[in-house]
């Protein structure tokens, strides 16, 4: 059994304030016994103004969130997973990057968000992540000793092949830190995350942003921890800060996969594109 925590934030536009919030909530999680703690997507800042955003960007070794997270992980003796923060790549583009620090404060691995949120929503919201961010190319699974952890960020949740690949590689915990919009969250957040847990026989941990942010956007909240059978073990509020906890029995992942062995039973197949039917029905 391991105790995990997901931290729900409502990140503002200034990393200096957000890092203080992150530290306070990480300490709360560790004090309650969590050995793995996850923060949401864009922990460092949510800022729509590109010109202002560019002034707060730093490369990873100088990023305030990355540096403080490593120090906290070492001090508290925990795995600290910064769900993501914006990292300057040095080529004029940005990485939406997750960072996992081990209990000695060492950077265990990073993950750059693969799928870019380029959408136009019914309420007039329009997002083009690819105009600023460089998408990642590599899925990641890391063995922490007590469990294998797979990585994703927010919009990645809509691409089940990513999660299937990580599960086939042995991931028992799938992570989906996010800053889901309110509109899409109300429609799809719970069902997508529960589906990823069920179809892969894995725990899902999804720390979320929640509430009305300083830059005017509104995120859905409802941070979730879900078991391999799709049951919600812990859930955050619709808006505002929260730390949610669950104790995970990692053997439950193996048990779920034994009961419904769909990962093992998957088969390759061919797809035939058939010609259109003639008007009036089938032809001879």
Q: Is residue 10 flagged as an active site residue?
A: no
Please write the tens of the pLDDT for every residue from 133-172.
889 999 999 999 999 999 999 999 999 999 999 999 999 9
Please write the tens of the pLDDT for every residue from 192-235.
999 999 999 999 999 999 999 998 889 999 999 999 999 999 99
Which residue from 72, 70, 77, 75 is spatially nearest to 109, judged by alpha carbons? 70
Task: Report whether 137 contacts 113 (CB < 8 A).
Answer: no
Residue 284 has pLDDT above 60, yes or no: no
Gap between the Cα atoms of 154 and 39, Å rounded: 12
Residue 122 has pLDDT above 90, yes or no: no
Candidate list 10, 129, 154, 172, residue with the active-site label: 154
Instruction: Give the percent of the chain with pLDDT over 70.
Output: 94
CA distance to 199, 232, 263, per residue, from 259 (Å): 12, 19, 11
Gap between the Cα atoms of 31 and 191, Å rounded: 32
Q: Is residue 214 flagged as an active site residue?
A: no
Residue 130 has pLDDT above 70, yes or no: no
Q: Quick one: DSSP state of residue 37?
A: E
Candidate list 10, 41, 129, 235, residue with the active-site label: 41
CATH superfamily of 2-265: Carbon-nitrogen hydrolase (3.60.110.10)
Please write the tens of the pLDDT for every residue from 5-20.
999 999 999 999 999 9
Candidate list 113, 129, 172, 235, residue with the active-site label: 113
Q: Is residue 41 flagged as an active site residue?
A: yes
How confident is the model over 109-113, as a mean pLDDT? Answer: 97
Please write the tens of the pLDDT for every residue from 77-92.
999 999 999 999 878 7
Contacts of 254 (CB under 8 A, 6+ apart): 172, 201
**205: helix, strand or coil:** strand
Instruction: Give the percent of the chain with pLDDT over 90.
Output: 82
């Amino acid at each position: 059994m391991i105790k995990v925590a997901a931290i729900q934030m409502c990140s503002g536009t200034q990393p200096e304030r957000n890092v203080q919030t992150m530290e306070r909530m990480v300490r709360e999680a560790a004090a309650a016994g969590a050995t793995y703690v996850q923060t949401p997507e864009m922990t460092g800042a949510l800022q729509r103004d590109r010109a202002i955003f560019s002034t707060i960007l730093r490369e990873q070794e100088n990023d305030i969130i990355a540096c403080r997270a490593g120090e906290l992980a070492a001090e508290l003796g925990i795995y600290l997973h910064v769900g993501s923060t914006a990292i300057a790549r040095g080529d004029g583009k940005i990485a939406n990057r997750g960072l996992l620090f081990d209990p000695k404060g060492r950077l265990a691995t990073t993950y750059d968000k693969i799928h870019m949120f380029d959408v136009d929503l019914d309420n007039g919201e329009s997002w083009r992540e690819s105009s600023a961010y460089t998408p990642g190319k590599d899925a990641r699974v890391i063995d922490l000793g007590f469990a294998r952890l797979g990585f994703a960020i927010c919009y990645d949740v809509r691409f089940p092949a990513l999660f299937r690949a990580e599960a086939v590689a042995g991931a028992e915990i799938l992570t989906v830190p996010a800053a889901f919009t309110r509109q899409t969250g109300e429609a799809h957040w719970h069902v997508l995350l529960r589906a990823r847990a069920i179809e892969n026989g894995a725990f899902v941990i999804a720390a979320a942003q929640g509430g009305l942010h300083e830059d005017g956007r509104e995120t859905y909240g409802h941070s979730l921890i879900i078991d391999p059978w799709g049951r919600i073990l812990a859930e955050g509020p619709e808006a505002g800060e929260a730390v949610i906890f669950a104790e995970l029995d990692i053997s439950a992942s193996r048990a779920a996969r034994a009961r419904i062995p769909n990962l093992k039973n998957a088969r390759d197949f061919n797809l035939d594109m058939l010609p259109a039917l003639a008007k009036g029905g089938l032809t001879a």
